[in-house]
Chain A
Amino acid sequence: MITEIGHFALILAFIVAVAQSGLGFVGAAKHHNGAMASSATAAVVQFILLLGAFFVLMRAYIVSDFSVINVFANSHTAKPLLYKIAGVWGNHEGSMLLWVVILALFGAAVAVFGKSLPSTLKSRVIALHGALGGLFLIFILIASNPFLRQIPVPENGQDLNPLLQDPGLAFHPPLLYLGYVGLSTTFAFALAALIDGRVDAAWARWVRPWTLAAWVCLTAGIALGSWWAYYELGWGGFWFWDPVENASLMPWLATTALLHSAIVAEKRDALKGWTVLLALLAFSFSLLGTFLVRSGVLTSVHAFATDPTRGIFILAILLIVIGGAFSFYAVRAPSLRGGGLFAPISREGALVLNNLLISVLAVTILVGTLYPLFIDALSTAKISVGPPYFLSVTLPLAVPLIILMGLGPLLPWKRADLAGVAGRLKFAGLVTIAVALGLGLFMRLPLLPILGFVFATWLASAVVTDLVQRSHRPGNGLGATLLKAMALPRAAWGMALAHGGLAICLAGIAGAGLQTEILTRLTPGQEFLLDGRRLVFEGVASVPGPNYTAQRGQFRWIDSAGKTKGLLTPEKRQYPVAKTATTEAAIRSDVLGDTYVVLGEPDSAGTWSIRAYRNPLAPWIWGGALIMAAGGLLSLSDRRWRIGAPHKVSAPATVKIG
């Protein structure tokens, strides 16, 4: 009965979405305040309905109601409660429902928090949210309904794929969806601006907080996914250039470029066409990702069960949304005339180059991801485009980008004196060269890690240089400089954290290139040496879990005196219901890296094969990414950049921002 209420809520939400859309568009066109207000109310109602439907599904999982086919296919009574809840979005139908819930959330948020937006813009944004919601709700109701029932009701369910029974499932998809779907608001802003025919500094300012919020969630979501892969899949890899991973990187790149491009649009009234295009592209990449995961055209670790009808349905939605938006762009964008003039060597110039490099990076990844499909369609050949390709095309693009990232923030607007800027970066340059020489000549590291560390150093030193430049006044001592630094606007620290976080992340990635691997076979009691650490294998015990049995190995890390410094317990788990096994690595993190041990296979003599890795600086990868996200949050909290920031009535606005 309750399930039917959830189903009904979906249908109702669809009707409300259509109303939201119609009222919003008509209201904006005719400047009818009543219609626009109703549209905003509809947005909130749609969210409440969908949230209700979502909780109905969650309830079905928690009580293990196997009359609901979705619960039967993906759950089991013995599954721990956390995974019963998280399992709601661990399958196609449930995750699709989460998608529309978040879509409605952002629509409602614009309705409630968008008070300082011009009413027609706000109304069109809400209307577009309604239209998108409506499209996806039709899809859900017709082809992905999570509330379908079955009779007779089976005793028990088929359990969730054991690889997904991990805390990562609780956080990675929701964060990622907040990012992906949050970009729909950016998309709506861009399309609404095109409809309006007006893209101006104010628009760039309004769109930024929403975009930044989505970016923060996307950054955290991607980082979490990468970390999950690292500890779950068993060999210390964290990025595989899998099609669906690429499908998350592309919107992230587009959004990053957008955030930077919007700065120029706001301050200099230039790059409008490009900014709007990036805003449309970011969500388009999100939709592409949705399509790839659910249609089956590409093999991927992330693919849900493939079903061509669903694929066709989603493709149709893509054609309407993306095709429609890009067509509209082609017609309307040429009339967006820019105003600001700037010299090629200037902050604007650097941001233009930044735009170009990031866009090329994103399109390159797109081409690489879709090329196998392209070749397969045009001939009978099948090729693979894997990590070796992606690394060889992205690294050459990343190099100028990172150099630029260091240089850009120090360039003044309109016109820059390159020699002067270079002078200010003397320190950063020297430190970078010192690091390069040190790593190359003294530590004799391989080339790629050296490059990674060198560029990370460059970026970090440039960030520090920028902060110092903003805080130091000639004649002031260290204390005064520090005080001034603390008083810098949050947005400035946000940028420092974002760029600095990337530098840390880059250093972590470079460190991963220095992985040491030990592959050996041990009897209990034997010890081995991993990068100078003594690890003693103490044997394997059988340990029962809630819905699995585990073979748990124990490794004792001892120092030279034999004192225990820690224990590592990797496991191999057997899940009887799903009839699959998983390997759980044991990871011990410290500031300088991860010690990573995996239990292998036993042989008839009772010895076990062991894989052990030392991954230098691995925690920096995800730590750096989280710092980037924190930087974004900090910027978001800067009141000057949010809608509704109070403005002084007295003096004209000549505040220097950033």
Chain B
Amino acid sequence: MTRLPLIGIFLFMTLPALAMQPEERLNDSGLEARARTISREIRCLVCQNQSIDNSDADLAHDLRRIIRERLTAGDSDAAVKDFLVARYGDFVLLRPPFRLSTIFLWLIPFAILVGGGISFWIMSRRTINPPVSLTREEQLRLEILTKDNS
């Protein structure tokens, strides 16, 4: 733990752990459900790979509150996410946006599947050496040899 650079300490602030509290929930269950769904897709920026829905961090708590405020003010799900992206960048979204830079991310699985299938099909069309049948004598010799296991 001591070898963490100061940046590390900066990220792990010693504030009381505040996982999602009952009071944070909105009274409107429809809005609350939307808030939870959105929260699961927002990255906790000071955690190691968590969403703000599950995180104990103070910043996660703040962002959860902000999401609920914006939803109550009438923002759509997309508008809420845009609000956060405007401040923190695409990094805050756990589902990478579909932009030119991320096009490979979404297409590569499909491309590999097709590419892999095609290349295998090509390879299987090469001439494969047909097994040559052995004479009886060669067959016996082979058996003797394979029993001698070294």
Contacts and interface: CB of A to CB of B under 8 A. Distances in A.
A383 B1 contact: no
B30 interface: no
Nearest to A356: B116
Given A305-B4, A339-B129, A382 B90 contact: yes
A367 B149 CA distance: 44
Contact of A235 (B54, B92, B106, B117): B54
B87 to A, nearest CB: 14
Interface stretch (A236-244, A494-502, A508-516, A532-540): A236-244
A360 B113 contact: yes
B21 A384 contact: no
Interface stretch (A44-52, A280-288, A576-584, A588-596): A576-584
B22 A609 contact: yes
A647 B120 contact: no
B20 A158 contact: no
Interface in A83-129: 116, 118-119
Nearest to B139: A652
A285 to B, nearest CB: 16
Nearest to B105: A371
Contacts of B90: 381-384
Nearest to B20: A519
Interface string B13-29: 01011111111010000
A642 to B, nearest CB: 13
B20 to A, nearest CB: 7
Nearest to B14: A579
Interface in A266-316: 269-270, 273, 299-301, 303, 305-307
A392 B131 CA distance: 45
A299 B49 contact: yes
A631 interface: no
Nearest to B144: A649
Interface in B83-112: 89-97, 101-102, 104-106, 108-109, 112
A359 B108 CA distance: 13
Interface in B116-150: 116-117, 120, 123, 128-131, 143, 147, 149-150
A388 B92 CA distance: 13
A488 interface: no
Contact-residue bracket for chain A: 35 or more
Interface string A221-265: 000000000000111010010110000000000000000000000
Nearest to A119: B150
A388 B91 CA distance: 14
A403 interface: no
A237 B54 contact: yes
Contacts of B54: 233-235, 237
A521 interface: yes
Given A364-B108, A649-B147, A389 B95 contact: yes
Contact of A359 (B21, B89, B116): B116
A393 interface: yes
B58 interface: no
A177 B113 CA distance: 31
A363 B112 contact: yes
Nearest to A380: B89
A377 to B, nearest CB: 12
Contacts of A237: 54
Contacts of A359: 116
Interface in A344-383: 352, 356-357, 359-360, 363-364, 367-368, 371, 375, 379, 381-383
A524 interface: no
A581 B17 contact: yes
B48 A367 contact: no
Contact of A383 (B20, B48, B102): B102
B4 A381 contact: no
Nearest to B117: A356
Interface string A176-197: 0000000000000000000000
Interface string A381-420: 1111111110011000100000000000000000000000
8 contacts: A158-B1, A301-B48, A360-B113, A384-B90, A387-B51, A387-B94, A519-B25, A652-B143
Interface of B: 1-5, 8, 14, 16-23, 25, 40-41, 43, 48-51, 54, 89-97, 101-102, 104-106, 108-109, 112-113, 116-117, 120, 123, 128-131, 143, 147, 149-150
Given A240-B50, A305-B3, A384-B43, 6 more contacts: A234-B19, A341-B128, A367-B108, A367-B109, A383-B93, A600-B22
* 6 residue pairs, one from A and one from B, having the closest CB atoms: A386-B94, A388-B95, A305-B3, A364-B109, A301-B48, A382-B91
